[in-house]
Amino acid sequence: MNRDTKDIVIVVSIAFILIVVAVVALMNYSGMGSPLTVVESNSMQHSTDRSSLGVIDTGDMVVMVSPDKTSVTTFVEGSKTGYSKFGSYGDVIIYKRANGQNPVIHRAIIELIYNNDGTWSAPSLNGYEGGWDNNGNKDYMHMSGTFSMQGLGWRGLSAYIDLDTLPKHSGYLTNGDNNIASETRTYFDQSTTIAGDLGPIQKKDIKAVAGLEIPWLGCIKLYMNGKNINMIPGNSIPCLTVAVIDVVFLFIVLSIILSFIFGSSERRHREKGE
């Protein structure tokens, strides 16, 4: 085997080992057999036409974390502690829908608890400094009728829901960071067809919690499937192209370094007469 072939074998072997290590690390971090999902809509973007690192955009891949390995911090709770993920307070969850529809990846905004008297309570609103309203009533332990929260999403909109229409069980109200019904308001998923008749998202409905973003890579799948290509931010493909070129360049540099190292080693052996 000549030196050039050896260099190629070594580089390929290193690449294979790195891929195996990365896959094992992802599965360990995730706690799931299939830890990756592709974001197919723009409901979590923080721009109308640009992708940003640290934000979930159309065409990104997300590393999912099993709900058995982590807890869910809501937007309300995160705003009080400073905990944030993907450009805003609280966690982003992936929840399952009925009839084989794709799961939804949206932010958990607030946890509601159903009271036996037919009202709802939201203990996390205690000490919450953001705006909210329940028919002018600030009793967060006995809520009914129209509930709203202000300052949601990257546009800082108000989200609304009629609590009296919800199925009678506790769970999370959710919303996409980019969802908008008008220039001034939006609606929680549980008021729309997004969540269907699920109502507040129960723990059994949560498929995973979004853990890490792998930017742009999922664009390949969207193009292959011809799905929601118009939603892909304009800078995603150029950024993906540059990232791929960087990886290829890295392996070329690695190959050159290995060639130099092994070439120097062979020269030393020859000089010693070995």
pLDDT, one tens digit for every residue, the chain (274 residues): 566 666 667 777 777 888 888 888 888 999 998 999 999 999 999 998 999 999 999 999 999 999 999 999 999 999 999 999 999 999 999 999 877 788 999 999 999 999 999 999 999 999 999 999 999 989 999 999 999 999 999 999 999 999 999 999 999 999 999 998 888 889 999 999 999 899 999 999 999 999 999 999 999 999 999 999 999 999 999 999 999 999 888 878 877 777 777 665 555 555 555 5
How far apart, in whole angstroms, are the C-alpha atoms of residue 58 and residue 134? Answer: 34
Q: What is the pLDDT of residue 206?
A: 97
Tell me the residue range of the domain where 223 lies.
31-234
Rounded to the nearest 5°, which phi and psi values hold at 50? -130, 140
- Whether residue 174 is contained in a domain is answered as yes
- Whether residue 242 is contained in a domain is answered as no
User: What pTM was estimated for this model as a whole?
Assistant: 0.88
DSSP-based three-state secondary structure for 230: helix
- Listed in sequence order, the residues at least 6 apart from 71 whose beta carbon sits closer than 8 Å to its beta carbon are none
- Whether residue 112 is contained in a domain is answered as yes
Number of domains present in the structure of the chain: 1
Residue 81, token pair as written in the block: 């502690």
- Whether residue 137 is contained in a domain is answered as yes
State the alpha helices, DSSP H only, in the chain: 3-30, 75-81, 219-225, 236-271
- Whether residue 247 is contained in a domain is answered as no
How far apart, in whole angstroms, are the C-alpha atoms of residue 73 and residue 84? Answer: 9
- Whether residue 248 is contained in a domain is answered as no
- Are 90 and 76 in contact by the 8 Å Cβ rule? The answer is yes
Q: pLDDT of 47-87, one tens digit each?
A: 989 999 999 999 999 999 999 999 999 999 999 999 999 99
- Are 65 and 211 in contact by the 8 Å Cβ rule? The answer is yes
- Whether residue 66 is contained in a domain is answered as yes
- Whether residue 258 is contained in a domain is answered as no
Residue 123, token pair as written in the block: 């203990």
